[in-house]
Amino acid sequence: MRRFFRNPVRLVPFAFLVPILLGTGLLMARWATADHERPPFVTALFTATSAVSVTGLAITDTPNYWSGWGLLVITLLTQLGGLGILTVAALAILVVSSQLGLRNRLLVQAETAEFGIGDVGRLLRRIAVTVFACEAVMTALISGRLWLAYDYSPGRALWSGVFHAVQGFNNGGFALYSDGLLAFSRDPWVSLPLAVGAIIGGLGFPALFEAVREWRQPAHWAVATKLTIWGSAVLLLIGFAGLLAAEWTNASTIGQYDVPGKMLASFTQIALSRTGGFSVLDIAALQEESYPLLIVLMFIGGGSASTAGGIKVSTFFLLAFTLWAELRGEPDVTVGHRRVATASQRQAVTVALLSVALVTLGTMTLLLLTEGVRFVAALFEITSAFSTTGLSTGLASELPAGGQLTLTVLMFIGRVGTLTLGSAIALNTRRRLYRYPQEQPIVG
């Protein structure tokens, strides 16, 4: 046991598990529900995991099932998960561990958005200031709109603004309305702050900080920043155009909106579908061709070291550049006149293949546990859980306990990260001191 915990990376899953169990206990209290009845254990565990993993997937009618205290617990768990339990755990490991190897330091660095091995205090301050500043602006805009245009009392408007700002920036997705944010699909003063907040929160702090610092010279950005910023822009544009075209005549979504309304609702939904989790459209009423688009966007997710999930934008586009180099017969993979290390390519392949395997296994498990479920619906829910997005066709609340526990496990794994979890499980981390003779097998 002592040998197991000697590797700091193995402590990362426990850093998430502790607040999940604590949140589960709090949500099982009578005062956490609106009717003052103890919720089932699976319901409390699912909701706590969804909050800490900043997923926002719900199996209850959130505003009516949970009391004000329960909603406050969900808000605090979401903020805790968004600020990065992983960051806190990794920094604690750096302090108490005097024999931290370079490999483990680099793994911790990749997960905590740390630019260097040291100077963690400055990093934490910058992250905290960025998070709370963005949430304050979002709160002001949303609260002011609800107070002035929707006749909310100042207190109710402020609470709604704070709740949705925390959920939006942290890519949570819990809402104080039973139908999500459908009522605000054409209100830019509510939907756009949430969309922009989710985009910023989903970029990742390394990319965000460098882009702001070097905004005049994007050519000087690091490869990871270029992949994240420009990749996110490309995904937003493709997703916006695709959803707009697919739903243009769908009367159940945007078919009856005017052109500006169609464009606003489509952009907001795409921005929130890449791990934001809010729904400004009825997800269950989308056209069939919209589901593959959203599934792909959810699976890719946001930026590394961000509040977003998925395999990450940089991973996806690094694989794309690797494929392009291989098709052209190039000896190296280059991005922006920079050669990408082979280790990074292998890491991207590992993350992608592990993620595909987990989503496939999760979908098969859900289909086995639940009768009469469509494959697309099962794949959508599993991808949403694994990518910590939180969008749902309504299937999650109808699943048996086994299906809901399957989604719970996928949310946990999706937040911890396939590569980190794999490193935590692997017992043998020693460096091999020899290499075997090389062969080149036939591929294809």
Judge whether 296 and 286 are in contact, CB under 8 Å. Answer: no
Angle between helices 342-369 and 418-425 (to 10 degrees): 90
Q: Which two tokens stand for residue 115?
A: 């630019």
What is the rounded CA–CA span in Å between residue 225 and residue 220?
A: 10
Rounded to 5°, angle at Cα 82 from 81 and 88: 65
CA distance 392 to 284: 8
**Rounded CA gap, 117 and 136, in Å?**
30
CA 200 from centre of chain: 12
The tokens for 233 are 């822009």
Q: What is the pLDDT of residue 243?
A: 96
Q: Where are the domains of the chain?
A: 8-426
C-alpha dihedral sign at 139, 141, 144, 150: negative
Match 């990319």 to its residue by tokens.
207
Q: What is the pLDDT along the chain (444 residues), one digit of tens a residue?
A: 555 555 556 667 777 888 999 999 999 999 999 999 999 999 999 999 999 999 999 999 999 999 999 999 999 999 988 876 546 444 544 444 444 444 444 444 444 444 444 455 666 777 788 889 999 999 999 999 999 999 999 999 999 999 999 999 988 889 999 888 999 999 999 999 999 999 998 888 778 888 888 888 888 888 888 999 999 999 999 999 999 999 999 999 999 999 999 999 999 999 998 878 899 999 999 999 999 999 999 999 988 777 888 899 989 999 999 999 989 888 888 888 888 888 788 888 888 999 999 999 999 999 999 888 899 999 999 999 999 999 999 899 999 999 999 999 999 998 887 656 655 554 445 566 777 887 778 777
Q: What is the SS3 assignment for 53?
A: coil
Dihedrals phi, psi of 126, to nearest 5 degrees: -65, -40
Q: How many Cβ atoms are within 10 Å of 355's Cβ, its own excluded? A: 25
DSSP 34: T
Place of tokens 């946001």: 302
Alpha carbon distance 86, 421 (integer Å): 12
Contact 172, 224 (CB under 8 A): no
Residue type, 104: N
Q: Which residues have C-beta within 8 Å of that of residue 238, sequence separation ≥ 6?
A: none
For tokens 């544009």, what's the residue? 237
Do residues 275 and 304 touch, judged by C-beta distance below 8 A? Answer: no
Phi, psi for 336 (deg, rounded to 5): 60, 45
* Residue 17 CB neighbours (<10 A): 15
pLDDT at 111: 42
For Cα atoms 88, 28, 411, give the angle at the middle one, nearest 5 degrees: 50
The 3-state DSSP class for residue 319 equals helix
- pLDDT at residue number 48: 96
Residue 51 to residue 168: CA distance in whole angstroms: 12
Q: Residues 168, 240: contact at Cβ < 8 Å?
A: no
Q: Are 132 and 163 in contact (CB under 8 A)?
A: no
Q: Which one, of 285, 188, 294, lies nearest residue 243 by Cα?
A: 294
The span from the CA of 99 to the CA of 107, in Å, is 15
Alpha carbon 77 to chain centroid, angstroms: 15
